[in-house]
Amino acid sequence: MSFSRLAAVAALSVIGFSPAAAQPAASVTITAWSYGFAPNPIHLAAGRPVTLVFVNRSGSSHDFTASAFFAASSISAGAAPGGEIELGGHETKSITLVPRAGTYPAHCSHFLHSAFGMKDTIVVN
């Protein structure tokens, strides 16, 4: 095998073993309703890209507020302004990110919603 061909094979091998950022994102669906979230808790892998798909089954608006979680994550698609995902009735939104290890609280910040049980925990290992 020629040196140039050997170099090309080596380069392609390195590309094939690229870091987590180049891997396709896994998908986790987070369902909201009056008054809860599922899954509870939410388990994610640290350093691995994931698309979080938020589905509001309720006709009322809700949000998913997790300021510390979104601040610690590298967001590559979508947005969480102010650390929250706002969902209108029956709305679906997604965000793709790489989470950092830790345990993060989440809740709906709408009036009294968290008092009625709209709380969750995000566990990133």
Reported as a single tens digit per residue, the pLDDT across 19-64 is 544 668 899 999 999 999 999 999 999 999 999 999 999 999 999 9
Whether the link from the prior residue into 41 is cis, omega within 30° of 0, is yes
Number of other residues whose CB lies within 10 A of the CB of residue 19: 7
Query: How far is Cα of residue 79 from the mean position of the Cα atoms in its chain?
Result: 11
Task: Give me the pLDDT at residue 2, please.
Answer: 52
Please name the residues in contact with 35: beta carbons below 8 A apart, sequence gap of 6 or more. 108, 113, 116, 117, 118
Over 50: is that where the pLDDT of 6 sits?
no
Task: Give me the pLDDT at residue 24, please.
Answer: 80
Task: Give me the pLDDT at residue 22, please.
Answer: 61
Domains in the chain, start-ordered, CATH in brackets?
20-124 (2.60.40.420)
Query: How far is Cα of residue 100 from the mean position of the Cα atoms in its chain?
Result: 11
Tell me the whole-structure pTM to 2 decimals.
0.81
